[in-house]
Amino acid sequence: MKTLKIAAIPGDGIGKEVVPAAIDVLNTVSDIHGGLTFDFTSFPWSCEYYLEHNKMMPDDGMERLQDFDSIFLGAVGDSNLVPDHISLWGLLIKIRREFDQVINIRPAKVMSGVRSPFINPKDFDIVVVRENSEGEYSAIGGNIYNGEDELAIQNAVFSRKGTERVMRYAFELAAKRKKHVTSATKSNGITYSMPFWDKIFKEIAKEYPEISTDSQHIDALSAFFVTRPERFDVIVASNLFGDILSDLGAAIMGNIGIAPSANINVNGKYPSMFEPVHGSAPDIVGKGIANPIGQIWTAKMMLDHFGEEDLGNTLLTVIESVTNDGILTPDLGGKHSTKEVTNEIIKRLIAVDKKGVHSK
Ligand code: NAD
Ligand code: IPM
Ligand code: MN
């Protein structure tokens, strides 16, 4: 019997709706597998927690997370309660950085039964590999408050180590897929970091002669995402470019509510963290209509991470059978609630088991 200790952090807004839904699904996965159980511990760290404690997590919060096999997070942020940069840097970004979750994997592909806003998206099946610990997201900078000369400076940080690491990750991933890596750059306008990024991309590409490459400026690349989605496989991007491309990828899939993501710790010292691409969606919170698929697909990425790819693939097949039958939340044009979509996924998972496919 394998037991995985998971720290659940529902966070804010719809995080509190979709995390319990995905936990129900994971517990069903466990029931049908027989040899795998999840031991969830839930932490209430959120903007509401901040209002009470003046911090997003307790002082020993990171130590408490350290011994878990992984972290399963919903969303963080409620700007009516706490400014976003405080809540995010106090919880989500803090965990990514302090646990060396330096790679952020964000797949996007068109699912059967989910209408994309684009005409010919069926070949859209990409993975954004986002640098997750440096780049444009830095704590280096400052403000000068000086009347009409008021100024804010924000530095971007690109280390050779971090850049090589994310690029190698992208090439290794492409080797298992369609064997193409696109680098998202902007070396025509950004004078230091992006020429450096390009130089390292060329160096790493030489290590992988079997992988074809191209390099696109982020503006043109964004346009090609829309007009020529089939030309992409793996895209390697800086922290900010990867953030933007992954929402664009999610939109091409149909809506941001279905997009999954994984923050991977590559040095094996700390747990990895799994969270969907979307945020706390304040505009729909409490209505019971949040799309649970992003969080449930994120659970599939967690299963893959633990070497349970067969179970992960079964889960994704079940999700797609549900979307294919039009059992969708309103963001995808459907009429169903979070609960109805989740229960349908659970019901079909159990049906797969009854056919004996996964009983062990
Ligand atoms: P958002 O992703 O929360 O919402 C954008 C739009 O997508 C909204 O219209 C929302 O209703 C819709 N949407 C998002 N998820 C959905 C789902 N599962 N089902 C149906 N519709 C969904 O982005 P935002 O409005 O820019 O951010 C809101 C808050 O969330 C902010 O505080 C932001 O900083 C935070 N945020 C957190 C994360 C994270 O924790 N990983 C990610 C993005 C944004
Ligand atoms: C994401 C989010 C975060 C990011 C925000 C909320 C800080 O947009 O996970 O995509 O930019 O990384
Ligand atoms: Mn984002």
* Of 85, 136, 243, best ligand 2 pocket probe by most atoms within 8 Å of the beta carbon: 243
Question: Closest-lying ligand to the alpha carbon of 286?
Answer: 1
Nearest to 182 by CA among 277, 118, 135, 249: 249
CB distance 264 to ligand 2 below 6 Å: no
Which pLDDT band holds residue 359 (cuts at 50, 70, 90)? very low
* 289-312 mean pLDDT: 97
pLDDT value at 214 more than 80: yes
Whose structure tokens read 């010919």?
Answer: 120
For the chain, give the longest Cα–Cα distance.
Answer: 72
Give nearest CA residue, ligand 1 atom 27. Answer: 279
Per-residue pLDDT for 360 more than 60? no
Burial class (CB in 10 A: 0-12, 13-18, 19+), 343: middle
One-letter amino acid of 130: R
Cα gap 350→344, rounded to integer Å: 10
Listed in sequence order, the residues at least 6 apart from 356 whose beta carbon sits closer than 8 Å to its beta carbon are: none
Most confident of 6-20, 103-117, 140-154, 341-355: 6-20
Measure 223 CA to ligand 3 centroid, in angstroms: 18
Residue with tokens 């970091």: 193
Q: What is the pLDDT of residues 181-210, one digit of tens each?
A: 999 999 999 999 999 999 999 999 999 999
Task: Among the bound ligands, name the one nearest to the CA of residue 96.
Answer: 2
Give dist(CA 179, CA 211) in Å, integer: 5
Domains and their CATH numbers in the chain: 1-106+256-360 (3.40.718.10), 116-253 (3.40.718.10)
Residue 356 backbone dihedrals phi, psi, to 5 degrees: 85, 10
SS3 112: coil
What pLDDT band is residue 154 in, cutting at 50, 70 and 90?
A: very high
* Average pLDDT, integer, range 85-98: 97
Any atom of ligand 1 within 6 Å of the Cβ of 331: yes
Which pLDDT tens digit goes with each residue over 302-346? 999 999 999 999 999 999 999 999 999 999 999 999 999 999 999
Cα–Cα nearest to 174, from 142, 141, 126: 126
**ipTM value:** 0.99
**Type of residue at 242:** G
Q: How far is the CA of 242 from the centre of ligand 2 (A)?
A: 10
> Whole-structure pTM over 0.90, yes or no?
yes
The top-scoring range by mean pLDDT among 94-103, 220-229, 348-357 is 94-103
CB of 262 within 6 A of ligand 1: the answer is no
pLDDT for residue 120: 63
- The per-residue pLDDT for range 15-53, each reduced to its tens digit, is 999 999 999 999 999 998 878 999 999 999 999 999 999
- Quote the tokens at residue 216: 């696109």
- How do beta strands 151-154 and 141-144 pair? antiparallel
State if residue 88 touches ligand 2 by the CB under 6 angstroms criterion: yes
User: What does the pLDDT average to over 207-224?
Assistant: 97
Q: Quick check: CB of 277 below 6 Å from ligand 2?
A: yes
Strands (E), the chain: 2-11, 36-42, 70-75, 103-109, 125-131, 141-144, 151-154, 180-185, 212-217, 234-237, 262-264, 272-274
Report how far apart, in Å, the C-alpha atoms of 42 and of each of 55, 324, 332 are.
Answer: 17, 32, 29
**Token digits for 105?**
């994997």
Q: Measured in whole angstroms, how far is the alpha carbon of residue 126 from the centre of its chain?
A: 13
Does 282 sit in the ligand 1 pocket, CB within 6 Å?
yes
Instruction: Name the residue at shortest CA distance from atom 1 of ligand 2.
Output: 277
Per the CB < 8 A criterion, the answer to whether 73 and 94 are in contact is no
